[in-house]
Amino acid sequence: MPNISGPLVRWFARVGRDLPWRRSRDPYGVWLSEIMLQQTQVERVKDYYTRFLATFPDVHTLAAAREERVLKLWEGLGYYRRARQLHAAAKRIVADHGGVFPRTAAELRSLPGIGRYTAGAIASIAFDAPEPIVEANSRRVLARVAGHDRPLDGPRGEAAIWEIAAAVVPRRAAGRFNQALMDLGALVCTPTRPLCTACPLATRCVAWRTRRTDAIPVPASRRETKRVRETALVIRHGDHVLVERRKPGEWWEGLWDFPRDAAAARGRKLGAVRYTVTHHAIECIVRERAAARRARPTKDRRWVTAAGLATLAMTAPGRRIAALLKPG
Ligand code: SF4
């Protein structure tokens, strides 16, 4: 691999993005931003990041918070497992490390929700450790610069791209280098029509020199979308409706939603909500019926009013179903 650090970091100093989490190298903020940025666009993360930090300014306040509160702040960001693991990791940092962030990638990876990428990002950005990172943007840049024309999915593809990342990360200022790599992927080396003539790595890039930017990276094999139908039940008792908490192992674990019943055809149809989760396209028919009596509430089952719904941490489809309700 050619040495790409110099031109890349100089480019970054000129045009790198000014993002809220880049104004400090505090590991807590770096960690929070990296978890939020997994599977969520930068623009969307900005507000969530600022609000979250205002509510839980450090690892101690987060560790002491109730999970419900953490999930509520996360509502709308999706992939709630991230929030639960963030919370669990905060508790571990306080309990096992006295509230001080571990500094090495290996120690960081022992915490819930911190994989190879996130550990590398925290260790390099907050502590300047020469750790490589691979995420969607840097993966594309690295594959193109190296002219790596084999598939990147699967364990083999992953291992190859991590090897390339490890070969290019500099001994010093690795955090700046890694951020520059991500910015180049986001701003210049875009998935389609990369701006090669404006790229600081053009003279070192194999894909550009050999006119193969369209072919690299090699697209991952596509998974087929599965169609699923389900029925959501709005069970009313007076001005209250029944909601349940999603169970461990289910999508949106720990968040509130309306009960599902695959077989239910009874009740008045209120409408339908369509949504996708991973490779599932789900059509959810929403039916409403009155309960003869109010089943006893439990930790994972509650009767709430419309105002009560607004305060719950709800799943994305649950929130859309709630919007279909008329006052009881
Ligand atoms: S020259 Fe083009 S393909 Fe190569 S890194 Fe730069 S933008 Fe990407």
Annotation says 135 is catalytic? no
| Backbone conformation region of residue 128, classed left if phi is above 0, alpha if psi is from -120 to 50, else beta | left
> Ligand 1 centre and the CA of 128: distance in Å?
26
Buried b (16+ CB within 10 A) or exposed e, 208-218: beeeebeebbe
**Residues 27-33: contacts with CB within 8 Å, 24+ apart?**
27/101, 27/122, 27/126, 27/127, 28/58, 28/59, 28/101, 29/53, 30/121, 30/122, 30/125, 30/126, 31/86, 31/89, 31/101, 31/114, 31/118, 31/122, 31/126, 32/86
The one catalytic residue in 34, 75, 135, 288 is 34
Tell me the pLDDT of the chain (328 aa) as tens digits: 778 999 999 999 999 899 999 999 999 999 999 999 988 899 999 999 999 999 999 999 999 999 999 999 999 898 888 999 999 999 999 999 999 999 999 999 999 999 999 999 999 999 999 999 999 999 999 999 999 999 888 788 889 999 999 999 999 999 999 999 999 999 999 999 999 999 999 999 999 999 999 999 998 777 788 999 999 999 999 999 999 999 988 888 889 999 998 666 788 899 999 999 888 999 999 999 999 888 899 999 999 998 899 999 999 999 999 999 975 5
> Ligand 1 centre and the CA of 201: distance in Å?
6
Domain ranges for the chain, please list them: 5-209, 226-322
**What is the best residue among 139, 140, 144, 187 to mutate for testing ligand 1's pocket, by most ligand atoms within 8 Å of CB?**
144
Specify the residue with its C-alpha closest to ligand 1, atom 4: 205
Nearest atom within ligand 1 for CA of residue 202: 1
Specify the residue with its C-alpha closest to ligand 1, atom 2: 196
Show the CA angle centred on residue 74, arms to residues 72 and 79, nearest 5°.
125
Buried b (16+ CB within 10 A) or exposed e, 285-296: bbbbeeeeeeee
Q: Which CATH superfamily is domain 5-209 in?
A: Hypothetical protein; domain 2 (1.10.340.30)
Place of tokens 């039940």: 233
Q: What is the pLDDT of residue 327?
A: 58
Specify the residue with its C-alpha closest to ligand 1, atom 8: 189
> How, if at all, do strands 280-290 and 226-237 pair?
parallel
Q: What is the pLDDT of residue 264?
A: 64
CATH topology of domain 226-322: Nucleoside Triphosphate Pyrophosphohydrolase (3.90.79)
Q: What is the pLDDT of residue 69?
A: 94
Alpha carbons 321 and 76: distance in angstroms, whole number: 14
What's the predicted TM-score (pTM) here? Answer: 0.75
Ligand 1 pocket at CB < 6 A: 141, 144-145, 188-189, 194-196, 199, 201-202, 205, 207-208, 213
Q: What is the pLDDT of residue 130?
A: 97
